[in-house]
Copies of this chain bind each other. A is one copy, B any other.
Amino acid sequence: MVVAHESLFQFTKSILKAVGCSEQDAQLGAKVLLSADLRGVDSHGVARLSGYVRLIDKDRVNTTPQTKIIHETPSTGVIDGDSGLGLVVGPQAMRLAIEKAKNVGSGWISVRNSNHFGIAGYHSMMALEDDCIGISMTNASPLVSPTFSKERLLGTNPISVAIPADKEPPFVLDMATTTAANGKLEILQRKNADAPVGWVQDKEGNPTTDSQGVKKGGALLPLGGDREHGSHKGYGLSAVVDIFSAVLSGANYGPWVPPFVAFLDPASDPVGKGIGHFFGAMRIDAFRPAGEFKSHMDNWITRFRGAEPVIKGHKVLVAGDPERELEQQRKKEGIPLLDPVVKDLMDIGQRFGVDFPKS
């Protein structure tokens, strides 16, 4: 089924209002979720809506959070998200980072007591309109094993960096610090297809091509896949995300991060509050004149995109290119939804008396 993004946005917003969010928060939350569907990160869009609702049902997400700045300096700060939706808390924190960047050149905000914040790229890209470089990261439920570890101790802990250009569209990196994002694995699971070596280990810690491996007690692998291919680097980056997001802010880290799924309980011995995020903004003219920077970014992007490809016609891409193309397409043609997602959304719609859009 394909649904126009505006209709899906209105539906999502109505559901968020029905579960208790303010008009403004529902608007923002729906916008963040839809940005994932538009950019092709289907695992982080409306497919997650029922998951958020189940967490709200269990009182694990507060729909009327009073976020607080716990501590700040001119260029840094910590925000307590009051158990709110990360979709709403995240943009507030990013806004504060941008304000600090306007005042003193850069702003860096660590967030505790939050929940899943959607796609990292939404938040980093907020900085672009103010001619800032935007950075966002978050920790997440433990699904990933460090190099040499049988245990799952880290989330897919994404990093996003958005960098403005002039005539060219911005550079937007948005990556899980695993070899493959969980969403990619889910696609293989639905097809009953094997996963490439280097994506997953089984519950004994051995490499496996079983795409169901994580569900069977195995783990996703850090970017690199194994030690010989640099998995200690993916593990190291994921650790930095975890520490910046949670040890700096006072959120839960590592294996203590509360699970996204409502049927698993949070750890009984938390080391902090909720999950953590980290946001940064750097004003480009805090380094050199914005026009100069942007014209060199155009040159950078053009040079890389114009590189001689290995396979003729198979162009070298710049971070953000595929997502932007998909966004343009989906804005026109609508958002394709899998049957189980449609069913899920229709069920929620029925429960809250909100009609699911027919197209």
Contact = CB atoms under 8 A, between A and B. Distances in A.
B243 A297 contact: yes
Interface string A73-91: 1111110000000000000
Contacts of A237: 159, 173, 175, 237
Contacts of A233: 175-177, 223
Interface in A291-335: 292-293, 296-297, 299-300, 303-304, 307-311, 314-319
B316 A146 contact: yes
Interface in A234-293: 234-237, 239-240, 242-244, 247-250, 253-255, 271-272, 282-284, 286-288, 292-293
Contact of A224 (B70, B78, B223, B271): B223
Contacts of A108: 105-106, 282
Interface residues of A, number: 90
B148 A304 contact: no
A157 interface: no
Interface string A159-188: 101010000000101011111100000000
A179 B149 contact: no
A152 to B, nearest CB: 9
Interface string A179-201: 11000000000000000101101
Contacts of A308: 149-151
Contacts of A148: 309-311, 314-317
How many copies make up the complex?
2
B307 A75 contact: no
Given A204-B310, A253-B296, A230 B180 contact: yes
Interface in A199-230: 199, 201, 204-206, 223-225, 228-230
Contacts of A146: 304, 307, 316
A229 B110 contact: no
A104 interface: yes
A147 interface: yes
A153 interface: yes
B310 A173 contact: no
A81 B148 CA distance: 41
A68 interface: no
Given A75-B286, A104-B74, A230-B180, A304 B243 contact: no
B229 A296 contact: no
Given A147-B317, A175-B233, A319-B239, A247 B74 contact: no
Given A76-B287, A205-B311, A243-B297, 17 more contacts: A70-B288, A73-B104, A73-B106, A74-B74, A74-B75, A76-B286, A147-B316, A150-B307, A153-B304, A175-B233, A199-B229, A235-B319, A239-B318, A248-B288, A249-B287, A253-B296, A255-B303
